[in-house]
Structure 1
Amino acid sequence: MEFCDDCGSMMKADDELWVCSSCGHKQPKDPSASFVVTEGQEETEVVDVSDAQDRGLPTTSVVCPDCDNDEAHWYMQQIRSADESETRFFICTECEHRWREDDN
């Protein structure tokens, strides 16, 4: 998702450009960004969690369900509707097992 540098409105994808629906400002898309397109939904950027430590992801004290290590990298992502809370994703610092935690 991109926001307009001129007016702050949300921009929409149009071929190789981001176009502001409010003021018409255009800017090129970042060619290195990864996207996942699901039918009926807008494009969303994929979070690359490979090399989590190199990407500067924070760590927290949580027990890995695979190896019982007590530390993991974490990040949050909105994967459900906007009125639902974000989902927390964890990556074990030892075995790199990945799991998520949703609010119920």
Structure 2
Amino acid sequence: MEFCDECGSMMKTEGDHWVCGSCGHEQGRDSEKEEEMVTTEGQEHSEVVDISGAEEKGLPRTTAHCPKCDNDRAYYYMQQIRAADESETRFFICTECEHKWREDDN
């Protein structure tokens, strides 16, 4: 990823140049430098969370309505699953049926 030297915006590749979508500034591409860049292409987004034994793991409990069994208590934990500048996602695990759901701040 390249950022524009003129305005600081993120640049896009167009052929053998980087082009700023905001101000139109162009600069040549450097293949050696680009090989060192980390991309998200081919990365799979998967999440494996073991919810068995939530009580033994010391997860805190709160009042939350389970959409599956209508229980009003759940364990919860917070996890960053989106960009770092966005809020964490709160996950709930029902204390009765172990149904898992999440709550995002919108």
- Cα deviation 1:19-46 (Å, max 9, x = unaligned): xxxxxxxxxxxxxxxxxxx7189xxx95
Write the letter of the residue equivalent to 1:53: E
For 1:40 and 1:91, how far apart are their aligned partners in 2?
25
Greater share of helix residues, 1 or 2? 2
Summarize the Cα distance change of 1:80–1:68 in structure 2 as closer, same or farther, 3 Å threshold: same
Write the letter of the residue equivalent to 1:96: E
Q: Cα distance, 1:49 vs. partner?
A: 2.4
SS at match of 2:69: coil
Q: 1:63 aligns with which of 44, 62, 65?
A: 65
Residue ranges of structure 1 left out of the alignment (5+ in a row): 1-37
Larger radius of gyration between Structure 1 and Structure 2: 2
SS at match of 2:75: strand
Paired residues, number: 65
Moved over 6 A (4+): none
For 1:63 and 1:40, how far apart are their aligned partners in 2?
31
TM-score, length of structure 1 as denominator length: 0.56
Q: CA RMSD in A?
A: 2.3
SS at match of 1:90: strand
TM-score, length of structure 2 as denominator length: 0.55
SS at match of 1:81: coil
SS at match of 1:66: coil
Write the letter of the residue equivalent to 1:65: P
Alpha carbons 2:51, 2:98 under 8 Å: kept: no
For 2:61 and 2:90, how far apart are their aligned partners in 1?
12
For 1:103 and 1:72, how far apart are their aligned partners in 2?
18
The equivalences for 1:1-104 within 5 A come to 39=43, 47-104=49-106
Identity %: 70
Residue ranges of structure 2 left out of the alignment (5+ in a row): 1-41
SS at match of 1:91: strand
Q: Cα distance, 1:93 vs. partner?
A: 0.3
